[in-house]
Structure formats: structure tokens, C-alpha cells
Amino acid sequence: MAPRSVMLYPETVSSFIPVLDKYRISTLLYRVLYWIGLGGLSTVSDIALAIGFDMSTRRAKDTNRQRIGRACKILEEEHLICEDNTKFWRVKKFYMLRLSDTGIEYCQNTFGWELIKSDWDKLIQWHNGILYPEHSAMVLNFAFHARLRGWKATVLPHDLENSSEPDVMISKGEEKYLALWESP
């Protein structure tokens, strides 16, 4: 399965993205910022899937996550994103991404974007995500796997019927489910 051809950036990239244009992968850097700032995504796998990279086999998934991971390292070195990690289940390092204050300012001033909170920002703000990184990693991983299977995943929706704040809502067509994980 070949990656989809997706145009998420202007054709004259270098004049449009100062700071990023000094890197050979400036278009990928732009796309990562786009999906964190305007898509609200917070994991390398979510961003690879959103960009349209092949995630159908283990090898393709690993290769494409590495590509996004390299881009994230550059964005972190430029102080445009914050990359936190935790040990989660069998994964030695599970990375959670969000825009830094510098990144927020950069995206607003350079691109004029009206940014949304990333899933990781929501978990930090409303569920003490910094204090409970394993819980946050579990929520973000669940949301990714739901999206991978064609579901729309919303981290931390407000449930008006029960006046509660579950961790994730997934929906597909008329089906809708809320998920809440309790600590043991």
C-alpha cells in the first residue's frame, strides 16, 4: 500500500516557513506542526496516519514512525514542540507531543493559525497528565488505535447526559462509545 499523495503545505515552502527552511525535510516539519497545532494530535503514530503514511505492516509502520520521530527531534531542538515520554506497557518509550509556547507563537505569527489544544494538552490540563503519564499514554494509544480502525476519537469530551468527563469518545456513523479508565 503506497502512501496517499496529500498536499498540506504551500508549493513554495521555503519562503513560507522561516526557521524550518534550513532543513532538508522542511515540508515534513511543517506537516508535523500542522497536525499538532490544527489537528490536535499528540503521538508520532497519529501524525503518520494523518499525513497518509503507510501503516499497514509492521515494517512500514516502524519506518514511518521513525521519519516522524526524526522530524519531532528537530522541532524539539528548535523549541517548537515539547516531547514527553513514558514507559507504557511493553513500549520502552511512548512519546507524547504538544506545541511549546515558542511553537504556539511561531505557528500563530508565521502561519496565522487558530490553534486547538492537542490531546496531550487536554490530558495535562484536565486530568493531571504530567502527574499520571502512564494513564495519559494509555488514553493517547487507545485514541490512535481507534483512528487506525476508522473511528473518530475525541480525547476528553464532556458527557452532558452524565455530567462527567470520560477519557475518550469514539464514534463511527450512529455508534458512539465513551471510555473511562480508573487507576487500580
Say how many domains are in the chain: 1
pLDDT confidence tier of residue 1, bands split at 50, 70 and 90:
very low
**Which candidate, 76, 114, 67, 128, places its Cα nearest to that of 98?**
76
Q: Which whole number is the average pLDDT over 73-87?
A: 92
Instruction: Give dist(CA 1, CA 60) in Å, integer.
Output: 9
Residue 7 lies in a domain: no
Q: Which whole number is the average pLDDT over 116-125?
A: 91
Q: Which whole number is the average pLDDT over 122-133?
A: 85
Higher pLDDT, 159 or 48: 48
pTM of structure:
0.83
pLDDT confidence tier of residue 2, bands split at 50, 70 and 90:
very low
The range of the structural domain enclosing residue 66 comes to: 13-179
Q: At 161, which CATH number?
A: 1.10.10
- Grid cell for residue 40: 490536535
| Residues counted in the chain | 184
What pLDDT, on a 0 to 100 scale, did the predictor assign at position 89? 74
94 Rama sector, left if φ>0, alpha if ψ -120 to 50, beta otherwise: beta
Residue 56 lies in a domain: yes
pLDDT confidence tier of residue 67, bands split at 50, 70 and 90:
very high
What pLDDT, on a 0 to 100 scale, did the predictor assign at position 160? 54
Residue 103 lies in a domain: yes
Amino acid at 152: K
Residue 4 lies in a domain: no
Q: Which whole number is the average pLDDT over 108-136?
A: 89
Residue 119 lies in a domain: yes
Question: What pLDDT digit, counting tens, does each position of 36-48 carry?
Answer: 999 999 999 999 9
Residue 184 lies in a domain: no
- Grid cell for residue 82: 515539547
Residue 97 lies in a domain: yes
